[in-house]
A and B are shown apart, each in its own frame.
Chain A
């Protein structure tokens, strides 16, 4: 649906050239909630703006449903933009206008009839659960309400793609939660593909089925969220995952760990019978297992479990147990514990 091919962009600033996008490629499929995560200055904002051509790449191409954006003239571009909604961190609403007027603007731009506009705005207000705010001025709304109006406005022209530029970054955790639920509803009920950028891993964890990690203009890692979360490759990805999924052995336990016995990290998805696995090791091999850490997380309905075990016993036996684990339906990783 959205295809970015080898996009490269350099900005000239007073402090020299900034490589905002360094040969970035990614593909968003229909129905995805695709999240791009990175620290500020990673190039996320530039990346998301390629999709509605608010930014153009120096080299590389951007396709929407196979249409090359760079080939569109002004008029065609404006038409294309009406099929792509966008919401912003700072909402970008007309503060001194009513909620009704703000949502109606995209429809006014399409010269829709007054009755059509009235009906559509009411529909949208009820979709974002702010039916009674039609005549209220935007300046009187809370941040969360403003973002709902921003979303309603973005949906007014029935777009097929919704771009979210740090849509929850200005909101408190509780409001963030409700906006994320709303985005999920938009994706499921209206079938709208969502591309979002964020610096909060929580947003990715909650709603994104795919994720790309950006650093200094490059996409350093991308894939299905569940895969990236369970097996992050890059150091920065690991840092991000750590902010939402704990897999660290608590300090006090580290101190008690037997220095010679191997420590193993098991990562499993779905209804994996880990308990059974652990007891099986105890029975079949002459080893004692100690659970050092365990956590269970839910990622879009899939369970992601992490268990860190210590295998104590003769080396031959622990090696056998380790080999056995590798044949099972879990990710196995040997952990080296550094004692001070």
Chain B
């Protein structure tokens, strides 16, 4: 059925889907791991922050801006030597994760920064008045209070990341987006193009739906 309409095997389609999820999952994981401390650093060291430090803020802010200003497709090839150093190869799904992390971490850092900045300054003041240390302020006040907003930030980040995985095909990353470009676009297979677009739409709907549901649950406790 799939073979006749789309002109590729069902296995190929499923494999691409799994590659997308694989790239998305790992790069989101590592990206968050980097993005949270970056976002926190931006919030804590900014002027008027709990640990206001102009030098650290200037450097972090600069790095985030710098990486974010490189288009992903260029980032992909630009950091290839680093990718090779890190995972031993420049191509393949695994290799695609490295530039994806570079792409998403500063983006998440910005999203996390704005989520954390939504926390009312009064809450931080109350925390300080209670004698909370910086770590305790983050642990007991900042993150719990920004939880729902952080979930939405991660949702937005994931969707941005999904778009970037399509370009990972350039270095043989595979995935749904790659399928659309190599099999759909280059072979004039319009049915496949359409199918991949629909799959990507479903992916986005699914991610956004889950994100919204979790955020709503955190906000309304239902």
Interface residues of A (CB under 8 A from B): 52, 54, 74, 77-82, 84-86, 88, 90, 92-97, 105-106, 108-109, 137, 153, 157, 163
A109 near B144 with CB under 8 A, answer: no
Q: Which residue of B lies closest to A108 (CB)?
A: B140
B147 near A92 with CB under 8 A, answer: no
14 contacts between A and B (CB under 8 A): A78-B131, A81-B131, A82-B130, A82-B131, A84-B129, A86-B129, A86-B130, A90-B122, A94-B123, A94-B145, A96-B144, A96-B147, A108-B140, A137-B221
A81 near B120 with CB under 8 A, answer: no
Q: How far is the CA of A81 from the CA of B137 in the complex (A)?
A: 14
Q: Which residue of B lies closest to A105 (CB)?
A: B140
B131 near A86 with CB under 8 A, answer: no
Is the contact region of chain A dominated by helix, strand, or loop, or is it mixed? mixed
6 smallest A-B Cβ distances: which pairs? A81-B131, A92-B126, A92-B122, A78-B131, A86-B129, A82-B131
Q: How far is the CA of A94 from the CA of B120 in the complex (A)?
A: 10
Which of A81, A97, A137, A157 meets B128, CB within 8 Å?
A81
Residue B132 is within 8 A (CB to CB) of chain A in the complex: yes
B130 near A88 with CB under 8 A, answer: no
Instruction: List A contacts of B132 (CB < 8 A).
Output: 78, 109
Residue B125 is within 8 A (CB to CB) of chain A in the complex: yes
Residue B54 is within 8 A (CB to CB) of chain A in the complex: no
Residue B91 is within 8 A (CB to CB) of chain A in the complex: no
Which of A92, A97, A105, A163 meets B120, CB within 8 Å?
A92
Contact with A along B126-144 (1 / 0, CB 8 A): 1011111100100011001
Q: How far is the CA of A105 from the CA of B142 in the complex (A)?
A: 13
B219 near A96 with CB under 8 A, answer: yes
Q: How far is the CA of A157 from the CA of B144 in the complex (A)?
A: 22
Residue B105 is within 8 A (CB to CB) of chain A in the complex: no
B131 near A92 with CB under 8 A, answer: no
Q: How far is the CA of A79 from the CA of B131 in the complex (A)?
A: 6
Instruction: List B contacts of A137 (CB < 8 A).
Output: 221
B130 near A96 with CB under 8 A, answer: no
Asked, given contacts A96-B219, A97-B144, whether A54 binds B130 with beta carbons under 8 Å apart, the answer is no
Q: How far is the CA of A79 from the CA of B132 in the complex (A)?
A: 9
Instruction: List B contacts of A79 (CB < 8 A).
Output: 131
Q: Which residue of B lies closest to A104 (CB)?
A: B140
Q: Which residue of B lies closest to A110 (CB)?
A: B131
Residue B40 is within 8 A (CB to CB) of chain A in the complex: no
Instruction: List B contacts of A109 (CB < 8 A).
Output: 130-132, 136, 140
* Chain B 188-222 residues near chain A, CB threshold 8 A: 218-219, 221
Residue B148 is within 8 A (CB to CB) of chain A in the complex: yes
Chain B nearest CB from A141 CB (Å) reads 13
Taking A77-B131, A78-B133, A96-B147 as given, write out 6 further A-B residue pairs in contact, using a Cβ cutoff of 8 Å, ordered by the A residue number: A79-B131, A82-B131, A96-B144, A96-B218, A97-B144, A153-B130
B122 near A106 with CB under 8 A, answer: no
Instruction: List A contacts of B140 (CB < 8 A).
Output: 105, 108-109
Q: How far is the CA of A137 from the CA of B220 in the complex (A)?
A: 9
Q: Which residue of B lies closest to A78 (CB)?
A: B131
Instruction: List B contacts of A106 (CB < 8 A).
Output: 130-131
Q: How far is the CA of A254 from the CA of B136 in the complex (A)?
A: 64
Q: How far is the CA of A187 from the CA of B23 in the complex (A)?
A: 61
Chain B nearest CB from A83 CB (Å) reads 9
Interface centre among B120, B130, B136, B218, by most A CB within 10 Å? B130
Q: How far is the CA of A109 from the CA of B120 in the complex (A)?
A: 20
* Chain B 128-168 residues near chain A, CB threshold 8 A: 128-133, 136, 140-141, 144-145, 147-148
B129 near A54 with CB under 8 A, answer: yes
Chain A nearest CB from B207 CB (Å) reads 23
* Chain B 15-32 residues near chain A, CB threshold 8 A: none
A88 near B125 with CB under 8 A, answer: yes
Which of A77, A81, A90, A95 meets B130, CB within 8 Å?
A81
Which of B129, B133, B141, B218 meets A94, CB within 8 Å?
B141
Q: How far is the CA of A92 from the CA of B124 in the complex (A)?
A: 8
* Chain B 108-130 residues near chain A, CB threshold 8 A: 120, 122-123, 125-126, 128-130
Interface centre among B126, B140, B148, B218, by most A CB within 10 Å? B126
B129 near A52 with CB under 8 A, answer: yes
Instruction: List A contacts of B147 (CB < 8 A).
Output: 96
Instruction: List A contacts of B145 (CB < 8 A).
Output: 94-96
Asked, given contacts A79-B131, A96-B145, A109-B140, whether A86 binds B126 with beta carbons under 8 Å apart, the answer is yes
Which of A74, A92, A94, A157 meets B125, CB within 8 Å?
A92
Chain A nearest CB from B45 CB (Å) reads 17
Q: Which residue of A lies closest to B133 (CB)?
A: A78
Q: How far is the CA of A93 from the CA of B129 in the complex (A)?
A: 13
Q: How far is the CA of A95 from the CA of B136 in the complex (A)?
A: 18
Q: Which residue of B lies closest to A91 (CB)?
A: B122
